[in-house]
Amino acid sequence: MKTRMLTHARLLEKVVYDPDTGKFTHLGRRRPKVGQFDKDGYVKISVDEVKHQAHRLAWLYMTGNYPPADMQVDHINGVRDDNRWCNLRLVTHTENQAYRIESGRTRASRSASGFRHVYWDGRKGKWFVQVRVNKKIHHGGYHMEAETAALAAITLRNQILEQQVKSCA
């Protein structure tokens, strides 16, 4: 039974998922530990010789269905191997990218400031911070320097993320 489309019933036959810890264990094996990291830091689990992402399996396990094709399973706290049920949510691609963790490499932003969520207001002659989450705009104030505005943007994003994580705990 080598298939890409894993059913909920077959998943229940093969593994057990603990929503409080986010860990999976195989049924009927001497070594029940399951999963390994992929190159991007996500946990992959092999079921019927096909590898699946653990966070998508957690969604299937808990809801009985795969996420819709136009939606993605996001880790609220940004930790790719934290597959606790309260840390997973369905988001659009755009929403998922809004919380993408920047890599350590310095790379140019497409905005004029060079920083995410920092924009120039020509009328006031200042940089302003604006973060959009779930179609709601959060303002982080006006700043004379782009670097100061970038720090305010990071602080605002972290506050929004903490609020979402607290609702998980």
Cβ proximity of 117 and 129 under 8 Å: yes
CATH number of the domain that residue 131 is part of = 3.30.730
Residue type, 89: R
Domain count, the chain: 2
The tens digit of pLDDT for each residue in 42-90 reads: 999 988 889 999 999 999 999 999 888 899 999 888 888 899 999 999 9
The tens digit of pLDDT for each residue in 120-146 reads: 888 899 999 998 877 788 999 999 998
Does 89 share its domain with 108?
Answer: no
Q: How many CA atoms within 13 Å lie on the side-chain side of 32?
A: 10
Question: Is 3 inside any structural domain?
Answer: no
Question: Is 142 inside any structural domain?
Answer: yes
Percentage, residues of the chain above pLDDT 90: 39
Does 83 share its domain with 112?
Answer: no
Which residues on neighbouring strands pair with residue 139, listed in sequence order? 130
Does 84 share its domain with 123?
Answer: no
Question: Is 2 inside any structural domain?
Answer: no
Identify the domain containing residue 141 by its residue range: 103-166
Question: Is 1 inside any structural domain?
Answer: no
Cβ proximity of 61 and 27 under 8 Å: no
